Amino acid sequence: MTEIQGERLKIAIVGAGIAGLSLAVAINALDQDHKIAIDIYESTPELSEIGAGVNVWPRTWCIFEKIGLGESLAPLFDHPPNLEPRVIYEIRKADQKDGFRVMEISKNGGGLRIHRADLQRCLVDHLPLPSHSGTKANSSCTLYLSHRLVDYTYQPSSVLPAKKPVVLHFADKPSRTCDILVGADGIKSTVRQLFLTRLPNAPDYQKCLSPRWSATVAYRSLIEKEMLRRLSPNHRALDHPGIMYVGRYKHAVAYSISGGRYLNIVATIHDKSREGTAWEGPWNSEVSRHELLDQFRGWDEEFQQLLQCIERPTRWALHDMHPLDTFASQRVLLLGDAAHAMLPYQGAGAGAGIEDAYILATLLTHRLTSTSSSPDHLSKLIDIYNCIRVPSAAAMVKSTVTQGALYTLAVPELDEYKEGDHIPFDRLLDVFHTVADNWSWTSSDPEEDRRTAVELLQRSCGQARL
């Protein structure tokens, strides 16, 4: 099809995190008809990413390939992205002086690990911005920094169906308009709050307005492998694809990123006595090494050596959201953590946002969706996005909670034990066989969902023409 003449369908993406950027890249990659204009609005004055690793599963890798990131991203992972069986983690019981190996968990393709800043840079490089002459621009794209969305409204109904009926309001910046607003503004999403309170059955969503604290904190840090090598030349983590240290209500993972330069460490502590309470204070802050070391006193020596290398730990209060039963209505859609913030135990929060982006980009760029699409067509598109993404994200939110309870040996069958106790080996094996089973989806094919979305779109348009 040749380039569509006249105005393009204007998509406003609020939030330039991994999910929002992935949507822009996916739209541009799939927009063969050059019919979409993307405006990205980000509240911060520059794009920055925390210094930490992120796990990408083979399922998400397939999407990266489909949206044209394969060549740039592949060299940044710690192993080639293929489906060979690989170790994800060696599980070690570590809440005692002499820790020991429980089992190894392997899956096809393993877990691909990358520095968040590298992933973000790659996404930004693939935005079709006028300054990126090397990127093929199917869609047009503008990035607006320092634009904090505070509200959205609709053009007065007297002029509907109007072009670009959604009006976006920003703090200290002029208002702008769009055809479709995508809220990719993270777990504290402003768009979600506005969207839910404007639904006809808004009172039903009261508990989904704010994130909920999981009574868990995570300490995160990158450590230089060289530093660990000096302290402990034969440390297991130096040459291992990934280690998970587990104990009652606590666990930690360590894996390599950045070509083996750093080890990414995440250590969680669950405080059962604070379940159901709200977190007070900043969600993340730098804390003393002393605080971190104190939490794991008495743990396995090899794990303590890792902690010794952490110079400036950050502490994150882990929140998730009560699952939503809708991510979209009228011309407003939610994407990524704004739609389904989850706990990090499946290593899949960002991956779920990338899946949202792929499905939504498929629907928006499909030849049946055009600049002159009727509100009726857009509402079908929104129904399909809800139909594909809501159940799978809800299942993922739920399974992260289960997975977290298993990692931290916080399952009812182990209630008789406390931190540091001897737990019979076969009971530990049972727990981690379940963990392994819960990762069976990680190398599944995301194309099935995309095909279903397209079939539903075709069917709904066919019915509309009858």
Strand partners, 106: 87
Binder among 9, 10, 13, 17 for ligand FAD (CB under 6 A): 17
285 binds ligand FAD (CB under 6 A): no
Contact 106, 86 (CB under 8 A): yes
| Nearest approach, Cβ of residue 387 and ligand FAD (Å) | 21
Residues 206-235 that bind ligand FAD (CB under 6 A): 218, 220
**Adjacency order of strands within the sheet including 332-334:** 140-144, 36-41, 9-14, 180-183, 332-334, 328-329
Residue at 130: amino acid letter:
P
355 binds ligand FAD (CB under 6 A): no
d(CA 118, CA 127): 15
The residue whose Cβ lies closest to ligand FAD is 17
Strand partners, 143: 40
| Nearest approach, Cβ of residue 185 and ligand FAD (Å) | 4
| Nearest approach, Cβ of residue 243 and ligand FAD (Å) | 15
> Closer CB to ligand FAD, residue 16 or residue 332?
16
d(CA 9, CA 253): 44
Coil vs helix vs strand at 60: helix
Could you tell me the sign of the dihedral formed by the alpha carbons of 169, 175, 179, 181, in that order? negative
| Nearest approach, Cβ of residue 87 and ligand FAD (Å) | 16
109 binds ligand FAD (CB under 6 A): no
Residue at 241: amino acid letter:
P
| Nearest approach, Cβ of residue 54 and ligand FAD (Å) | 5
Binder among 337, 357, 358, 397 for ligand FAD (CB under 6 A): 337
Looking at 178-186, 403-411, 420-428, 448-456, which segment touches ligand FAD (CB under 6 A)? 178-186
Looking at 95-103, 125-133, 326-334, 344-352, which segment touches ligand FAD (CB under 6 A)? 344-352
> Closer CB to ligand FAD, residue 302 or residue 337?
337
Binder among 165, 242, 336, 404 for ligand FAD (CB under 6 A): 336
> Closer CB to ligand FAD, residue 12 or residue 414?
12
**Adjacency order of strands within the sheet including 250-257:** 100-108, 85-93, 243-247, 250-257, 262-270, 212-224, 314-320, 284-286
81 binds ligand FAD (CB under 6 A): no
353 binds ligand FAD (CB under 6 A): yes
User: Which residue in 245, 248, 269, 301 sits closest to 423, CA to CA?
Assistant: 248
Task: Kindly state the helix (H) or strand (E) to which residue 298 belongs, with its residue range.
Answer: none
> What angle do the packed helices 349-365 and 58-66 form, to 10 degrees?
30
242 binds ligand FAD (CB under 6 A): no
Phi/psi at 77 (nearest 5 deg)?
A: -90, 165
Binder among 219, 245, 299, 316 for ligand FAD (CB under 6 A): 316
Residue at 123: amino acid letter:
L
Looking at 35-43, 102-110, 174-182, 415-423, which segment touches ligand FAD (CB under 6 A)? 35-43
d(CA 421, CA 437): 26
347 binds ligand FAD (CB under 6 A): yes
Kindly report the length of the chain.
Answer: 466
| Nearest approach, Cβ of residue 59 and ligand FAD (Å) | 11
Looking at 42-50, 155-163, 240-248, 361-369, which segment touches ligand FAD (CB under 6 A)? 42-50
User: Which residue in 198, 197, 219, 217 sits closest to 207, CA to CA?
Assistant: 197
Residue appearing with tokens 């060299």: 75
Buried b (16+ CB within 10 A) or exposed e, 194-222: bbbeeeeeeeebeebeebebbbbbbbbbb
Contact 22, 357 (CB under 8 A): yes
Binder among 8, 11, 13, 20 for ligand FAD (CB under 6 A): 20
| Nearest approach, Cβ of residue 44 and ligand FAD (Å) | 5
> Closer CB to ligand FAD, residue 313 or residue 349?
349
Binder among 18, 141, 181, 223 for ligand FAD (CB under 6 A): 18
> Closer CB to ligand FAD, residue 152 or residue 303?
152
Please give the residue ranges that form the binding site for ligand FAD (CB under 6 A): 14-20, 41-44, 54-55, 147-149, 184-186, 190, 218, 220, 266, 316, 318, 336-337, 344, 347-351, 353
